[in-house]
Chain A
Amino acid sequence: MTISRRALLAAAASLPVAVAGHGLAATALAQQFATGYHPRAESIADGIWMVRGADEAIAMTNGGAIANSAFIATDEGTILFDPGPSREYALALTALAEEVTGKPVTRVYVSHLHPDHALGAAGFAPELLHALPETRRELVDEGEGFADGMYRILADWMKGTALVLPNGDVKPGDVTYGGRKLRLLALQGHSGGDLALLDHATGTLIAGDLVFNNRAPATPHADIAAWQKSLTELAAVPHNILLPGHGPLDTGGLNTGGLDTGGLDTGGQDAIAQTADWLGWLDGALHDAVAQGLDMAEAGNIAIPGRFAGVKLARYELQRSVSHFYPALEAELLPRL
């Protein structure tokens, strides 16, 4: 099944005229073919760069490069946090990392299973790839399906991308790599295993998809209660700035936890609070929609509070979340007849 669908896409890609015969959108697809990735690195702290993904849905126009990645320079080589959606993107990141840090990528962390973060593992030798044990387990179950889905949407952008599993060997706690002290946080809620990373020297918290900033959270594997708990834990981690999985760097907001933070609690709380706010609203709003007798399509069209006006893809992610949660909520709330 897997092979035949990709083979079909490959055949379609080589015959743009035949594809175009089936309608306007197909014509557009044929015209927007991959032109190559051009990621850019931006310095956010001493020895740390972010590579911003587009604040968009996965689409032909962005090659699936919608998630943020990070480079951390160390004496032993560059650590890459999240290799992105495809082999080609991972190769572009590799070249970029070496250009800005002067050292090749020698370690790659995969924050969680989702394809916009994980499938770029195909660009690296397996021994460089590390993730939480749960992330590896989830990729064993779902990785091939993700690859199918990404090939369907992205076709040529995905060329050469096969599922490469990271080692499931990340344990929570402090590690020192190439002279750099890092804390690895093993959390969950956005998915079954969500890795976050704190760089002690700079107070940079790299949060993966536990935190979204002015871009609506995606919930295909979410457990909202567990996610909220993880956000509470992240908020309590002393840090200065926070790189979310999607959306801009967060430098705003104070850590008000009253913790002994060693002077590191100057910012990076706003996006955590916004993510928690969205998830709390979403959970309540979907319960209310079932209680009011709305069907799924109607629930996807409910009003989104004005405080989320600056949040990109809010309607899109609400409608995805309706698909993820609504049938189970109906089974829970509607009485048996």
Chain B
Amino acid sequence: MKKSMICCLASVLVWSGAAWAGEYPADPLDSPMWDYRANEILGDAEVVFDDAVQVIVPQLAENQHVFPVTVDASALPDVKRIVIFADLNPIPVAIDYRPINARAFVATRIKLDQRTPVRAAVQTGDGRWHVSGVWVDAAGGGCSAPPVSRVKGDWAQHLGEMRGAAWPDHDDTRIRVSFRHPMDTGLVENISAYNIDTLSVTAADGTKLAEMSVFGAVAEDPVFTMIVKDAGEAPIAVSARDTAGLEFDGSVSRRAGVDLLAQAR
């Protein structure tokens, strides 16, 4: 309880820019934190609840430390941002994704600190937020238990190790990239917050494809799936930076994905 309150204060400081217009549409999920989170995260832009935003999650949170969330908003035109957040998490926002030259699609895994709405807020070029989400039941403590690698003690040996590949996906390229990183929330005794905080994806010719702000609510050893508008065979660069300033760089290519597909039955 004490930890949650401290974290709420922290998140107010981070997201203090917007003034609350005071009028958001009634929440179909009837969340006790809807108005508060809407003000904090979406500010005074227009907000609509919109089923065109698909939030794809499993029917249960088998593991509250690693809860998969896929957002597909490709039915909406001119998507500028996709924010994944959980109302009742002490760190509500998991990622803030900007699909610059990419499809309005992103998947990752988040921590859940208790039963909570899990939502995607998708901002289109006209400034409007399109929001969708579901209640997810979860055991407590997803944000306040130490990561597995902290318990095992091997996090530093593997820090920043990247894996990934790219696959042809219709006319675009699907990329998946994982990082070994503890993604410490700062809510565990004697372990300060330490997480990857930015991610960028760049084509071989230097074109920026996508950018993401990443928060401590993303699960340990984070994995990101994106679909970028680059159908070429050249490697696509992925780089990330964490809150200690360490940088992790790698590149994914379609060759690796095609090799993997060849192994599938």
Among candidates A288, A292, A297, residue contacting B167 with C-beta atoms closer than 8 Å: A292
Is residue A324 contacting chain B, with contact meaning CB distance below 8 A? yes
Contact B161 A336 (CB under 8 A): yes
Chain A positions 137-153 with a Cβ under 8 Å from a chain B Cβ: 148-149, 152
Among candidates A293, A322, A333, residue contacting B174 with C-beta atoms closer than 8 Å: A293
Among the 9-residue stretches A17-25, A121-129, A158-166, A253-261, the one with 4 or more Cβ atoms under 8 Å from chain B is A17-25
B108 smallest CB distance to A (angstroms)? 8
Contact A324 B62 (CB under 8 A): yes
Contact A291 B56 (CB under 8 A): no
Q: A327-B221, A335-B164, A337-B164 are in contact. Are A298 and B264 (CB under 8 A)?
A: no
Contact B60 A297 (CB under 8 A): no
Is residue A312 contacting chain B, with contact meaning CB distance below 8 A? no
Measured as residues with beta carbon below 8 angstroms from the partner, the interface class of chain B is 35 or more
Contact with B along A307-336 (1 / 0, CB 8 A): 000000001100110111001001101111
- Pick from A292, A319, A337 the residue with the most CB of B within 10 Å: A337
In the complex, chain B residues whose CB is within 8 Å of the CB of A330: 163, 178, 223
For the complex with contacts A319-B59, A335-B163, 19 further pairs of A-B residues with Cβ separation under 8 Å are: A22-B32, A23-B31, A149-B139, A293-B169, A293-B174, A296-B109, A297-B70, A301-B56, A315-B59, A320-B60, A323-B58, A327-B223, A330-B178, A331-B163, A334-B163, A334-B165, A337-B163, A337-B164, A337-B238
Is residue B127 contacting chain A, with contact meaning CB distance below 8 A? no
Among candidates A24, A57, A295, residue contacting B70 with C-beta atoms closer than 8 Å: A295
Give A322 to B264 CA distance when docked, in angstroms.
17
20 pairs, CB–CB < 8 Å, chain A vs chain B? A152-B139, A220-B62, A287-B264, A292-B260, A292-B264, A293-B166, A293-B174, A293-B260, A295-B107, A295-B176, A298-B70, A315-B59, A316-B60, A319-B59, A320-B60, A323-B66, A331-B163, A334-B163, A336-B163, A337-B250
Is residue B68 contacting chain A, with contact meaning CB distance below 8 A? yes
B96 smallest CB distance to A (angstroms)? 18
In the complex, chain A residues whose CB is within 8 Å of the CB of B20: none
Is residue B186 contacting chain A, with contact meaning CB distance below 8 A? no
Give A334 to B29 CA distance when docked, in angstroms.
37
- Nearest B residue to A24 by beta-carbon distance? B30
Contact B165 A335 (CB under 8 A): yes
Give A333 to B32 CA distance when docked, in angstroms.
42
Contact B59 A333 (CB under 8 A): no
Contact with A along B152-184 (1 / 0, CB 8 A): 000000000111111101000010111000000
In the complex, chain B residues whose CB is within 8 Å of the CB of A247: none
**In the complex, how many residue pairs between chain A and chain B have their CB atoms under 8 Å apart?**
113
Contact A23 B30 (CB under 8 A): yes
B247 smallest CB distance to A (angstroms)? 13
Contact B165 A295 (CB under 8 A): no
Is residue B265 contacting chain A, with contact meaning CB distance below 8 A? yes
Chain B positions 39-80 with a Cβ under 8 Å from a chain A Cβ: 56-60, 62-63, 66, 68-70
Contact B263 A291 (CB under 8 A): yes
Contact A334 B225 (CB under 8 A): no
Q: A290-B260, A295-B68, A297-B69 are in contact. Are A336 and B162 (CB under 8 A)?
A: yes
A230 smallest CB distance to B (angstroms)? 23
A287 smallest CB distance to B (angstroms)? 7
- Nearest A residue to B177 by beta-carbon distance? A337
Give A82 to B69 CA distance when docked, in angstroms.
37
- Pick from B30, B176, B260 the residue with the most CB of A within 10 Å: B260
Contact with A along B208-250 (1 / 0, CB 8 A): 0000000000000101010000000000001000000000001
- Nearest A residue to B117 by beta-carbon distance? A23
Is residue B195 contacting chain A, with contact meaning CB distance below 8 A? no
Chain B positions 113-162 with a Cβ under 8 Å from a chain A Cβ: 135, 137, 139-140, 161-162
Is residue B204 contacting chain A, with contact meaning CB distance below 8 A? no
In the complex, chain B residues whose CB is within 8 Å of the CB of A319: 58-60, 62
Among candidates B137, B164, B223, B264, residue contacting A288 with C-beta atoms closer than 8 Å: B264
Contact B57 A297 (CB under 8 A): yes
In the complex, chain A residues whose CB is within 8 Å of the CB of B108: 295
